[in-house]
Amino acid sequence: MHPTIPIAVVNPQRPGARAEVRCGLCSFNKLCLPQGLDEHDMGRLDQIIVRRRRVLRDESLYAMGQSFHSLYAVRLGHFKTAQVNRRGEQQITGFHMAGDLLGMEAIGSGQHSCAAVALEDSEVCEIPFARLQELVLQVPPLMQHFHRTMAREIQREQSVMLFLGNMRAEQRLALFLLSMGARYAARGYSPASFQLRMSREDIGGYLGLTIESVSRLLARFRKQGWISLDKREVSLLDLAGLERLSLGVAGEAEDGGVGGGEAGNQPDYAAPRAA
Amino acid sequence: MHPTIPIAVVNPQRPGARAEVRCGLCSFNKLCLPQGLDEHDMGRLDQIIVRRRRVLRDESLYAMGQSFHSLYAVRLGHFKTAQVNRRGEQQITGFHMAGDLLGMEAIGSGQHSCAAVALEDSEVCEIPFARLQELVLQVPPLMQHFHRTMAREIQREQSVMLFLGNMRAEQRLALFLLSMGARYAARGYSPASFQLRMSREDIGGYLGLTIESVSRLLARFRKQGWISLDKREVSLLDLAGLERLSLGVAGEAEDGGVGGGEAGNQPDYAAPRAA
DNA sequence: CGTCATATTGAAAGATGTCAACAGAGGTGG
DNA sequence: CCACCTCTGTTGACATCTTTCAATATGACG
């Protein structure tokens, strides 16, 4: 039951396959920049996308401090974006998959304030920003969609702030798993079975936890039957339970039937700080 | 030495004074949407700003879930934006002062995902978004600046993620004070002496800490001579020290000379989680 | 079969939250 | 003008979650 199974209409190119570069033929165009454009406008967008660029695992698409020229749409694969302190601590600001747009944070300053690193061999479409700005003036629906895309990024980050600021480790991890599932679902894959493309360290870096905490928490989720886990292959066995967990309703929650073990030794504290 | 003193060219209207509504005469236009526009274009922007709106202390400019129609530029006063959990926990996503633009997070979904509440009697300029979209098509520099503004918001939030995810309470608070100072400096006020417009609870809500932690930390900063503090009036006495603190270089840091008290009982731990 | 990176697990320490009592400011009404 | 009340902020003692430090798997790769 673990393997990640596409359950719907997507048609992901194998890496290395000779793929068509036109947006109209990309299986993720509904999620991406051309969303809502007609054939003609999509063609104009095609014309400014200079090339398809491959990024190998652990390579960076752009580095922190690098000057900004283009946005990138993930075509295939996964990326993380990370910001590094002057002291070397790393905050993962997001994980990105097919259809996501990368680089927007750099528009303000002309410099990338975080690095984008491929979590596996990946491909992106490069969109020169200057040309996009011109095109957007001629294609109002594209501009509107671009605005929505940036705004959604703002909103996404606010929800990260919410869990970094307010939630316990357990809740954060449950929410993380659920949200990964939801994103895969939006791409036609199973919301409950998928492969974690990132290391435990990256998960920790994203959730504001140490790698040990992540590891322990995952082990606990597994023992309690919320999830099954084999290396990076994960299945969410009890979505409702995870949801309850993410809301902080720890404690009694039905035992899950598996393992039978040490449930009940969690205090049923109510809320982490709050009035 | 505590009172907040304008040290430069700003000319804030007193609340209640009959103020000119044109952007060209607003002392914050350099920080706001009309940044970089010529007289003519600024006039066109003026025409779509429907009215100046007053928001009394504790009133909300918009509520969570409310449908989105307009952006708002803070003209006078201060706001907080806050997101609330299904469980009632509150995450303050930002504090906003004159020249800041509010409401961008709602562009994506058409619904406000956070509430904006006035921290004191305030005034905003309302900018109907549909009309802004039209205008932006006719005034490319305005569009570009609008994009930069949204992008800066993305970047700002990423830096909040960085400190919520990676930094200790002490560092967060130091950074918060410094950043407030920097923002006042950008508006022509003293970077070192200002009034905290928000409650301790709001500070905690922003920094992901309890009110008690904030209170204790402020007391410690004061005792160690980093700051002086009288109710909500704060002076940053040792900017370099606070900066070092925000970097996590706790420990020996020169005693500040004041109070003389219990310095040295902080462990000189190095980094909060990191490799 | 070593070596390295990644992940798991245990024990102990420590930072921050929780609970509780209290102080001071400001407002209200007698 | 004073008593009273509420709201905000301060401080203390204690609980506990999460980190830190350390040892030990596990798998990939030569």
Q: What's the mean pLDDT in B239-247?
A: 91
pLDDT at A6: 40
pLDDT-wise least confident of A29-33, A62-66, B104-108: A29-33
Q: How confident is the model at residue A73 (pLDDT cuts 50, 70, 90)?
A: very high
Instruction: With a cut of 60, say whether residue B256 has pLDDT above it.
Output: no
> Higher model confidence: residue B89 or residue A15?
B89
CB contacts under 8 A, B 188-207 vs A, are 204-207
A199 sits within 7 Å of strand C by its CB: yes
Mean pLDDT of chain A: 84
User: How far apart are alpha carbons B90 and B104 in whole angstroms?
Assistant: 20
Q: Is it the case that residue B13 has pLDDT exceeding 60?
A: no
What is the predicted pLDDT for the residue at B61? 95
pLDDT of residue A24: 86
Least confident residue range of A6-10, A199-203, B173-177: A6-10
When mean pLDDT is compared over B19-23, B87-91, B138-142, the highest value belongs to B138-142
CB contact under 8 A, B83 and A159: yes
Whether B83 sits inside 8 A of A109 (CB atoms) is no
pLDDT-above-90 percentage for chain B: 68
Contact by Cβ (8 Å): A74, A130: no
| Closest residue to B161, CB basis, from A140, A153, A164 | A164
> Per-residue pLDDT averaged across A251-267, rounded?
36
With CB atoms and an 8 Å threshold, state whether A154 touches B153: yes
Distance CA B150, CA B102 (A): 10
Interface test with B, best of A150, A172, A214, A243 (most B CBs within 10 A): A150
Tokens 């007053």 belong to B54
Q: Which residue of A has its CA nearest to B209?
A: A165
- How far apart (Å, rounded) are the C-alpha atoms in residues B233 and B192? 11
Compute the distance between CA of residue B225 and CA of residue A127 in angstroms, rounded to an integer.
51
Q: Which of A120-124, A146-150, B9-13, B184-188 has the lowest mean pLDDT?
A: B9-13
Q: Which residue has the higher pLDDT, A13 or A21?
A: A21
Query: What's residue A20's pLDDT?
Result: 61
Q: What angle separates helix B200-207 from helix B169-186, to the nearest 10 degrees?
A: 110
- Residue B249 clears pLDDT 90, i.e. is over it: no
Domains, chain B, with CATH or none? 23-153 (2.60.120.10), 167-246 (1.10.10.10)
C-alpha separations of A225 from A193, A222, A232, A257, B114 in Å: 14, 5, 17, 7, 35
pLDDT at A255 over 80: no
pLDDT for residue A12 is more than 50: no
- Looking at residue B21, what is its pLDDT? 73
Structure tokens at B158: 């990423």
Between B4 and B59, the higher pLDDT residue:
B59
Interface residue B65 vs chain A (CB under 8 A) = no
Nearest CA-CA distance, residue B230 and chain A, Å: 26
Q: How near does any CA of chain A get to the CA of B237, in Å?
A: 23
Residue A117's pLDDT band, with cuts at 50, 70 and 90, is very high
Q: How far apart are CA A137 and CA A148, in angstroms?
A: 16
Q: What 3-state DSSP class applies to A265?
A: coil
Taking the C-alpha atoms of A12, A16, A22 and A27 in order, what is their torsion angle to the nearest 10 degrees? Answer: 0
The nearest CA of chain A is from the CA of B138 a distance in Å of 8
In angstroms, rounded to a whole number, what is the distance separating the alpha carbons of residues B53 and B63?
16
Which pLDDT score, from 0 to 100, does residue A247 have?
86
Q: Does position B89 have pLDDT exceeding 80, yes or no? A: no
Residue B192 has a pLDDT of 94
Nucleotide in closest CA–C1' contact with B212: D10
DSSP H helical segments within chain B, as ranges?
A: 39-48, 129-138, 140-166, 169-186, 200-207, 211-223, 239-246
pLDDT tens per residue across span A183-192: 999 999 999 9
What's the token pair of residue B274? 């990191």
Residues in chain A within 8 Å Cβ distance of B108: 148-152, 154-155
**Given CB atoms, is B210 within the 8 Å cutoff of chain A?**
yes
Q: Identify the pLDDT of residue A206.
A: 96
Half-sphere exposure at residue A10, Cβ-oriented, CA atoms within 13 angstroms: 21
Looking at residue A158, what is its pLDDT? 95
Question: pLDDT value at position A151?
Answer: 97
Q: What is the pLDDT of residue B151?
A: 97
Cα of A84 vs its chain's centroid, Å: 19
Identify whether the C-beta of residue A96 lies closer than 8 Å to the C-beta of residue A80. Answer: yes
DSSP state of B66: P
Q: Residue A140's pLDDT is what?
A: 94
More confident residue, B1 or A56: A56
Spatial separation of the C-alpha atoms in residues A6 and B211, rounded to whole Å:
47
Q: A20 vs B252, which has greater pLDDT?
A: A20
B89 touches chain A (CB under 8 A): yes
More confident residue, B121 or B258: B121
Amino acid B27: pLDDT: 85
pLDDT digits over B198-219, tens only? 999 999 999 999 999 999 999 9
| Residue B262 CB neighbour total at 10 angstroms | 10
Q: Is the pLDDT score of A257 beyond 50?
A: no
Split at pLDDT 50, 70, 90, the class of B20 is low
Q: What share of chain A has pLDDT > 90, as a percent?
A: 71
Decide if B86 touches A, using CB distance below 8 A: yes
CA A155 to C1' D29, in angstroms, rounded, equals 43
For residue A67, name the pLDDT band (cuts at 50, 70, 90).
very high
Which chain B residue lies closest to A148 (C-alpha atoms)? B108
Q: Which of B157, B246, B249, B269 to mutate to test the interface with A (most CBs of A within 10 A)?
A: B157
